[in-house]
Amino acid sequence: MKTILSLCLSISLLGTLCAAPPDSNTHNNRADERDVDERHVIVVGTGMAGLSAALEAAQNGARVTVLEKWSVFGGTSFISGGKLAIVGTELQKSKGIEDSPDLAFQDFVNCGKDLDREWVRYYVDHSNEEIFEWLSEAGVKFDIVAAFPRNSVPRGHGSKELGVGLINPLFRTCFQHPNVEFVWNTKVVDLVRDQNEITGVKGVDTRSGTEREFLADAVVLATGGFQSNLKMIRENWPSALPWPSRVLTGSGINSLGIGHGILREAGAAYHRMSYVWNYPYGLPDPRDPSGKRGLLFAHGRAIWLNGDGQRFVSESADIEAKLNAMLRQTPASYWALFDESNKTRVYVAGTDFGNFAVVQRVIYDNPKLVKSAMTLESLAEAAGLPQEAMAETVRRYNAMVDAGNDADFHRFSLEDSADELPPKIETPPFYAVQIYPMTRKNMGGVLTDHSCRVLDAQDRPIPRLYAAGELSGFAGINGTSALEGTFLGPCVVTGRMAARTAVADAAALHRARRPAAPSQPPQPSQTSLPLSQPSQELEPVTDLNTAASNQCIACHDIKSLVGMNRPGYLHFEKSHQRVLDRELNCSTCHPGMNPYQKDLHRIDMQALSHHCGTCHLSKD
């Protein structure tokens, strides 16, 4: 089923500009108005865990209703680097990488304390078939195996299209499945209870404010973490680390702990809540007017200077060591210093920063973010750092590069070849960027059993309630520390496990009700959303560029609409502002809409997902 309950998927979605026909907002899936033998699962969230749960439940014969707060899919997974730790794949073997479950298990145990060994064992033994093979069948093209610190061998599998390359194929496979329907712009605010059982959820349409109940046999929550909720971050900050004067939020914009609050009201237990994964790479996001959100800004050739203009840690140390050292500076930040010859050697995570021209325009050309000068002394003055101290730090660093040995922090040593040594900082202009701690993921959350049933304070399953992904703290697979690639991977594994358990429990529930009887499979509905008709008849055109865009503008005033700040339209406004900024024409994301044909003028949800890369990968 593809019933669309709200105008949706505003990833450059012109359909969101017009009112949907009346019946596009009406669909009833109440359990008492359907065949009681039909297993029905609600999945809340469309990140990696939610989509994995939805597809798994559908493949196991259940009818699936997916609820999403936003008008687009993907969650934090969509803006991620897209790497999954997978063990013993054909891709590894093709690259001569010898890996094994036992080797991976030992890496996990050596990395994180207080991890769930049973989950780790299951993960390393089954990641190949549960993640690599299953996602490949869903259309994901793995073409990268990256090496990460503390992994004995390279096992970070990914796509050249980062998180987009993982989520898009998975979404399209879900969308095409006749058992799956998506309900957009629906914020789940509570659970529906019948005595001691969970029978569904209460949702609020983020655009209209309309409240509604959704009933089903099982509810799988995959609502993500809380690392964009500063209150929860502060409450669960690791006691061993000082709280910084400024911390930026770097998780998904909807990682607000919504599921945590809902499950707390249901009596759920929690585990490992202070186990968090934060980054020492936070750059204030210039596109965020609140000043609270950050971009991951990692410069591989920079040196890190504290407020005294001195290095304080090895820039090649692991993330935890660098974050720990950063938090103990006063203030808890540092300046990344580099020169013109290495300006492009930077990684900025997030929408469209894969294109260096965007990095140049949005970040390097912004004097509030980046200080630049022709001399080190002038740069120090611009950054507010001691001039003599900073100049001496750079002079000493360059001398150690010449000597081939970092005697201060062991970033490089005499054992490194000349090709492995970082370059000296000597080519003007010089640059300095102030970096802050940034939140990213939480490795603790709602407590579940090893079948992903939500547990209460007495370790008893709460009937018909399941959790997956970051909401469950990735099931404790990481413990106190992560190997990298061990966030998205557990999202797939726990999402699929939660779905299998939910479908099996629902089947048992129906068997207890009455003997099984054949039920009619759900029928797919239309996969596109008709737009309201133009106010005037338009002549078909064949020019898919300027003429076509002008024709669209005759009905859709984009410039006015992006500035209206309407509830539930944030992604539409952001994405179409990018379209205006880049002077793209409408056919870039809506090629099927032109030339205009009255009877075919409708949004194609599946086709639109192919154009996410226009913004997220800076594709032209």
The domain that contains 394 carries what CATH number?
A: 3.90.700.10
Nearest CA-CA partner of 468 in 486, 485, 484, 492: 492
Residue 86 lies in a domain: no
The answer on pLDDT for 430 being more than 90 is: yes
Please give the angle made by the CA atoms of 464, 470 and 472, to the nearest 5 degrees. Answer: 40
Residue 368 lies in a domain: yes
Torsion of CA 432, 437, 438, 444, to 10 degrees: 160
Per the document, the length of the chain is 620
Amino acid at 182: F
Same domain, residue pair 284 and 422: yes
pLDDT digits (tens, 9 = 90+) for 503-517: 999 999 888 876 544
Query: Which whole number is the average pLDDT over 411-434?
Result: 95
Total tally of structural domains belonging to the chain: 2
Q: Which of 139-153, 173-187, 250-264, 597-611 has the lowest mean pLDDT?
A: 597-611
Same domain, residue pair 540 and 431: no
Query: Which whole number is the average pLDDT over 314-340?
Result: 97
Query: Which whole number is the average pLDDT over 183-205?
Result: 95
Answer whether 44's CB lies under 8 Å from 471's CB.
Answer: no
For 6, 46, 166, 548, the CA distances from 9, given in Å and listed in that order, are: 9, 12, 18, 22
Query: Which whole number is the average pLDDT over 260-268?
Result: 97
Residue 219 lies in a domain: no
Residue 333 lies in a domain: yes
Nearest CA-CA partner of 427 in 400, 398, 396, 406: 398
Nearest CA-CA partner of 406 in 417, 414, 395, 312: 414
Amino acid at 248: L
Q: Specify the higher pLDDT residue, 36 or 282.
A: 282
In order, the DSSP letters of 338-367 are EEGGGTT-EEE-STTTTSHHHHIIIIIT-T
Answer whether 154's CB lies under 8 Å from 92's CB.
Answer: yes
Query: Which whole number is the average pLDDT over 299-313?
Result: 97
The answer on pLDDT for 417 being more than 60 is: yes
Torsion of CA 218, 194, 469, 511, to 10 degrees: -30
Same domain, residue pair 434 and 320: yes
**Which domain does 311 fall in, by range?**
277-439
Percent of the chain with pLDDT over 70: 85
How does residue 548 score in pLDDT terms, banded at 50, 70 and 90?
low
Same domain, residue pair 283 and 390: yes
The answer on pLDDT for 498 being more than 90 is: yes
- The rounded distance, in Å, linking the Cα atoms of 7 and 28 is 17
For 108, 167, 249, the CA distances from 324, given in Å and listed in that order, are: 21, 32, 17
Residue 367 lies in a domain: yes
The answer on pLDDT for 429 being more than 90 is: yes
Helix and strand numbers, DSSP H then E, in the chain: 19, 24
Same domain, residue pair 535 and 431: no
Query: Which whole number is the average pLDDT over 13-30?
Result: 34
Residue 52 lies in a domain: no
How does residue 196 score in pLDDT terms, banded at 50, 70 and 90?
confident
Report the chain's mean pLDDT, rounded to a whole number: 86
Q: Residue 19, exposed/middle/buried by CB under 10 A (0-12, 13-18, 19+)?
A: exposed
Residue 171 lies in a domain: no
Same domain, residue pair 303 and 415: yes
The pLDDT of residue 546 is 54
